Structures are given as structure tokens and as C-alpha cells.
Amino acid sequence: MNVVLVGFRGSGKSTVGKALAEKLGREFVDCDDYIEKKTQLTIREIFEIGGESHFRTIESEAIADLSKLDGKVIATGGGAVLKYQNMQVFKRNASKIFFLDVGTETALARIDGDPATRSRRPPLTDKDPATEIREQIAFRRPYYLKAADVTVASDGKKVEELVAEILKHLDEPPHDQKDPVPIA
């Protein structure tokens, strides 16, 4: 079973995903990083070359690849939920999907605090960042809710708190708390 994290930019998918993977003794895979390695282009460059629809096609192909893996913690791109088939592919392959629910102010602060986000990912509209984030979160929220098996509010919480919340909904103990393997 894979653990899949969905949510808007700045919701904590990558940060929480890495910490969760470490806690579970699993590999962490960031879908956007996977796409960039596979295409040898940044997300921004893909958007510039073919627009959002071209990127969403590449993203769906990446999700199809990643869903075939097992035992991973996977962070999707913020818009992956916009294609119904993406989440269905994960669900068909026994993934548990967690929505990291983030508010506009928190997302904006986190995005502004991460220079890599602005350089690697293009704006989605020509609106100012706060308006774009507010509108996109409102537009995408129903998609996140429909995709998710569990919703976790991420505003005002530390990474450790979010990991603990997710762990409560998984059927396995953290890697560092598993029963030791008997020595034969």
C-alpha cells in the first residue's frame, strides 16, 4: 500500500511526506520531482512549452507509473486531483490518500518562504499571488475532499503533529516502533 498526499502548494506534502517516509521506513517520491527527472525539464519549462494541459498529461502518465509501486509515500502535485482518473489509479492500486488541507494565508506564507517553489512552478493565473491562491484553493477543495480517504488540517501544525495524525489512520506502526525481528 502506498500513502499518497494531496493538497495545494504549501500544504506540506513534500515536507510531511519526507518525515512520514522516514518514520515508516519507506521511500519518499515527489511526483513533480519524478516528472522533472523523467522529462529533464522543470515544471515551469513544461508549462512554457505546452501549457497546463500538456503538463497534466505528463502528470497523469507519472501517476500511472508511481501507482504501480508499493510501499511508498508519494506527494502529488497540487493539481493532480483535477483529473478524476489520477486518484482512481491510486485507489485501484490500494493506496491510502491523505488531503493536507491548508488555508490561503498559510499557503501564501509557505510559498513565499520557499524560493524554489516560485522558480520551479509557474503561476496558474495572471492574478496577484494571494488572489490566485485563495481562488485555486476554493476551486480545488471539493476535488481534494472527493479524492481523500482522510483529511488532515495543516494550518498551525508542526510537521511532527501532521505525521502523528497520519499515522493514526494507517494500519502499521512507525518503522522505529515495529517489533524487532527475532534472530534465528
Q: Which grid cell is 77?
A: 502535485
Q: What is the pLDDT of residues 160-183, one digit of tens each?
A: 999 999 999 997 555 444 444 444
How do strand 150-153 and strand 27-30 relate by DSSP bridges? unpaired
Has residue 16 been placed in a domain? Answer: yes
Question: Residue 98 has what pLDDT?
Answer: 97
Assigned domain for 57 exists: yes
149 lies in which domain range? 3-169
Per residue in 30-42, pLDDT (tens digit) is: 999 999 999 999 9
Q: Is residue 144 part of a domain?
A: yes
- Work out the pLDDT band at 109, boundaries 50, 70, 90: confident
Mean pLDDT of 9-27: 95
Whole-number pLDDT of residue 182:
44
Condensed to tens digits (0 to 9), the pLDDT of residues 53-67 reads: 999 999 999 999 999
Decide if 176 is inside a domain.
no
Q: Is 153 exposed, middle or buried (0-12, 13-18, 19+ CB in 10 A)?
A: middle
Q: Looking at the domain assignment, is residue 177 inside a domain?
A: no
Whose grid coordinates read 516502533?
A: 177
Inter-CA distances, 171 with 3, 57, 66, 92, 160, Å: 11, 33, 21, 18, 18
Picking from 16-20, 93-97, 166-170, which range would have the lowest pLDDT averaged per residue? 93-97
| Mean pLDDT (the chain, rounded) | 88
- Measured distance CA(106)–CA(66) in Å, rounded: 29
Q: What CATH number is associated with residue 106?
A: 3.40.50.300
Distance CA 177, CA 173 (A): 6
Mean pLDDT of 60-88: 95
Q: Is residue 11, in this structure, part of any structural domain at all?
A: yes
In a domain, 72, yes or no: yes
Please state whether the predicted TM-score (pTM) of the whole model is above 0.85.
Answer: yes
* pLDDT reading at 86 higher than 70: yes
- Count of domains forming the chain: 1
Output the pLDDT for position 129.
Answer: 82
